[in-house]
Amino acid sequence: MKMQLTEIANAIGIEDVPETWAAITIANVEFDSRKVRPNSLFIPLQGQRDGHEFVDTAIKNGSVATLWAKDHEDVPSDYPALVVDDPLTALQKLAVYYLKKINPKVVAITGSNGKTTTKDMTASLLETEYNVVKTQANFNNGIGVPITLLNMNANTEVVVVEMGMDHPGQLDFLSKMVQPDTVVITMIGEAHIEFFGTRDKIADAKLEITDGLKEDGLFIYNGDEPLLRERSKQVEQQQYTFGESAADDLFASNIQWAKDHTDFEINLVPGKTYRIPMIGKYNVMNALAAIAVAKAYHVDPSKIGDALSNFQITHNRTEWVQGSAGEAILSDVYNSNPTAAKEVLDSFSRTETSGSRMAVLGDMLELGEQSDAMHISLSDHLDPKLISQVYLVGNHMKALEKVLKAKYPNEQIHWYSVEQEDQLIADLHAKLTNKDEILIKGSHGIHLEKVLAGLRDS
């Protein structure tokens, strides 16, 4: 972005500003003082600590102005401070202003699983024809979405926005903020079911992404999900479905996968094989969603294959890396829920290896009263003939441990508390060879990325 500070002030409702502010140009917006760059506008948000405490650090790192909550005293006198009722609300208001100013097409993506991968695939396909900006990392909430919008350059033609939620009303707010031209729902799973109670209510909350959809917009969703098929009747805008069924507008067939890629065909281009650099049928569904968006935006069909096969995967989403012993590690440590865990276990179990397959599974969080049953449900996707060693981490995995001991020899099932990561790493180092493969998956709150880092360190 590039905006004068006076324009920013007016955009958020501040009219009486010093004339000297007209000479100040803002090049970026940042709420983390450690990441502030030259010519930043710093946004002091309330988190575990008050962001106003870090204004001095932001200045040292190059910030040239800040927002300032009016209920905070000691407004800086020697540094431009835009006094507002609430910095977060002002950030969101500025993002809406800037979105209208740049006026790109907006693609909004949500789902219980696969939204980040679908976002990455969609951006890759659209980039073959357009100037595209996409959500970075997991910036998919009321803070991250406006930051994504404010990261746009003046020549941005399409912005691909990932949207997450864990409570009703969140997607309604985000959708109405960005007024998308296209919305995508990848699937309905059990993520955050602790806060919703049922998958039906999760589906209701996911459908909120259509609340801000433009009247001439497009709703793309997984047509194999009955909960979405049923709720799609509430949406008046044009619709397009993807899945495995011939009843879908876009469907996949002849799905085949190897260790580091998956091949498939689609009904729209018979006989042509597409490849994605990821394993699993569930990632083919994500690719179909991206292809559906590309079709809606008239991307040259001849460019889709190469763009899909070379898209950049967000770190730690079913990503193969190498451990210090030479073992192949399938890293999927960013998050986990029952649907996603079952899918990746099924795919991992079918990879080719001359050694052993092992799995490290961390607690799946926010499952509420159904937690034990949902952890136990992973048992059907763990076969001692295919995955020889299972390492479980966290209190919720205790329920799965009891069931697995009925089908695995005791010495092949291992349980650890979240505080025993060093012991887990040591035990894995003692077991792994350069012929083995290991899957690491768990909810982000279990921090299995530390185990991943321990295995990669020599």
Report pLDDT digits (tens) over 359-404.
999 999 988 888 999 999 999 999 999 999 999 999 999 999 999 9
Rounded CA-CA distance 413/421 in Å is 16
User: For the chain, how many helices (H) and strands (E)?
Assistant: 16, 21
List, for residues 110-135, the tens digit of each pLDDT value: 998 889 999 999 999 999 999 999 99
* Confidence class for position 192, pLDDT limits 50, 70, 90: low
Q: For residue 413, give Cα distances in angstroms to 141, 388, 406, 407, 424.
A: 38, 9, 10, 10, 12
pLDDT of residue 194: 67
For the annotated binding site, the residues are 111-117
Q: Say which residue the tokens 């590039």 belong to.
A: 2
Question: Strand 413-416 to strand 389-393: parallel, antiparallel, or no bridges (unpaired)?
Answer: parallel
Structure token digits, residue 107: 């693609």
Average pLDDT of the segment spanning 323-333: 93
User: Can you name the residues that pair with 362 across neighbouring β-strands?
Assistant: 393
The DSSP call for residue 379 is: G
CA distances from 385 to 61, 66, 382 (A): 55, 59, 9
CA distance 256 to 435: 23
The model's pLDDT over 331-343, given as tens digits with 9 standing for 90+, comes to 988 888 898 899 9
Beta strands across the sheet bearing 63-69: 28-30, 40-42, 63-69, 81-84
CB of 338 closer than 8 Å to CB of 189 = yes
**Apex CA 375: angle with CA 335 and CA 317, to 5°?**
20
pLDDT at 233: 96
Q: What residue type is assigned to position 435 of the chain?
A: K
Asked if 26 and 48 count as a contact pair (C-beta separation under 8 A), the reply is no
**Does domain 104-309 match CATH 3.20.20.70?**
no
The domain 3-86: what is its CATH number? 3.40.1390.10
Please report, for the chain, the start and end positions of each structural domain, with discontinuous segments joined by +.
3-86, 104-309, 319-456
Q: How far apart are CA 416 and CA 74, in angstroms?
A: 49
- Contact yes or no for 39/25 (Cβ under 8 A): yes
Tokens 């501040």 — which residue? 14
Q: Please report, in range form, the residues annotated as the binding site for ATP.
A: 111-117
Q: What is the pLDDT of residue 41?
A: 97
Strand 158-162 relative to strand 238-243: parallel, antiparallel, unpaired? unpaired
- CA distances to 87, 149, 183, 303, 425 from 96, in Å: 14, 8, 18, 32, 46
Note the pLDDT tens digit of each residue in 396-433: 999 999 999 999 999 999 999 999 999 999 999 999 99
- As a whole number of Å, the CA-based R_g of the chain is 24
More confident residue, 192 or 448: 448
Do β-strands 389-393 and 357-362 pair in parallel, antiparallel, or remain unpaired? parallel
Q: List, as one string, the DSSP characters of 164-177.
A: --SSTTHHHHHHHH
Residues 161, 107: contact at Cβ < 8 Å? Answer: yes
**Is residue 350 pLDDT above 60, yes or no?**
yes
What is the mean pLDDT of the segment spanning 147-172? 95
Sign of CA dihedral 125, 227, 145, 136: negative
pLDDT at 27: 96
Indicate the SS3 state at residue 101.
helix
Q: Would you tell me how many other CB atoms lie within 10 Å of the CB of residue 60? A: 10
CA distances from 53 to 88, 238, 384, 416 (A): 16, 48, 53, 38
Instruction: Spell out the residues 6+ positions from residue 378 whose beta carbon is closer than 8 angstroms to its own.
Output: 338, 341, 342, 345, 361, 400
Residue 314 pLDDT grade (very low, low, confident, very high; cuts 50, 70, 90): confident
Residue whose C-alpha is closest to residue 387's, from 395, 379, 397, 399: 379
Contact 359, 439 (CB under 8 A): yes
Nearest to 296 by CA among 219, 209, 366, 236: 219
Nearest to residue 141, comparing CAs of 113, 106, 177? 177
| Fold of domain 319-456 | Protein-Tyrosine Phosphatase; Chain A (3.90.190)
Q: What is the mean pLDDT of the chain?
A: 94
Residue with tokens 């889709």: 304
* 458 has pLDDT over 60: no
In three-state secondary structure terms, 299 is: coil
| Per-residue model confidence as pLDDT tens digits over 260-269 | 899 999 999 9
Query: Residue 85: how many CB atoms within 10 A of its CB?
Result: 11
Nearest to 445 by CA among 367, 350, 333: 333
Distance (Å) of CA 382 to CA 40, 325, 341? 50, 24, 11
Q: Which two tokens stand for residue 172?
A: 């309604």
374-396 burial, b at 16+ Cβ within 10 Å, e below that, comes to bbbbbbebbeeebbbbbbbbbeb
**More reliable by pLDDT, 214 or 350:** 214
Tens digit of each residue's pLDDT (9 = 90 or more) over 283-300? 999 999 999 999 999 999
Task: With cut-offs at 50, 70 and 90, classify the pLDDT of residue 316.
Answer: low
Tell me the mean pLDDT in the region 131-146. 94
What is the length of the chain? 458
Does the structure show a pLDDT above 80 at 197?
no
